């Protein structure tokens, strides 16, 4: 487990009028097979080497999750 993330300042407002506070849990995994594919929640999908991350436009909340994974923390982040 990398962490459980939520932020009362990160509120999502949808076109249908729904408004909610985002939360997510992040865990590690390993790829066993399959193909990358987009979904209704994604426009692009790719594996990126850690040394290329600085070149990408990543939302700060997502970058926090990535950084926590790369730090190989001994305990999950809760916040």
The answer, as to whether pTM is greater than 0.85, is: no
Asked if residues 6 and 21 have their Cβ atoms less than 8 Å apart, the reply is yes
CA distance 73 to 24: 18
- Tell me what the pLDDT averaged over the chain comes to: 92
CA distance 65 to 13: 22
Across the range 43-68, mean pLDDT stands at 92
């Amino acid at each position: 487990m990398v962490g459980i993330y939520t932020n009362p300042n990160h509120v999502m407002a949808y076109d249908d009028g729904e408004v909610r506070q985002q939360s997510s849990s992040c865990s590690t995994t390993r790829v066993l097979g399959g193909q990358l594919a987009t979904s209704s929640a994604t426009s692009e999908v790719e594996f990126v080497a850690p040394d290329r991350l600085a070149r990408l436009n990543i939302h700060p909340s997502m970058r926090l999750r990535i950084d926590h994974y790369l730090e190989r923390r001994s305990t999950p982040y809760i916040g």
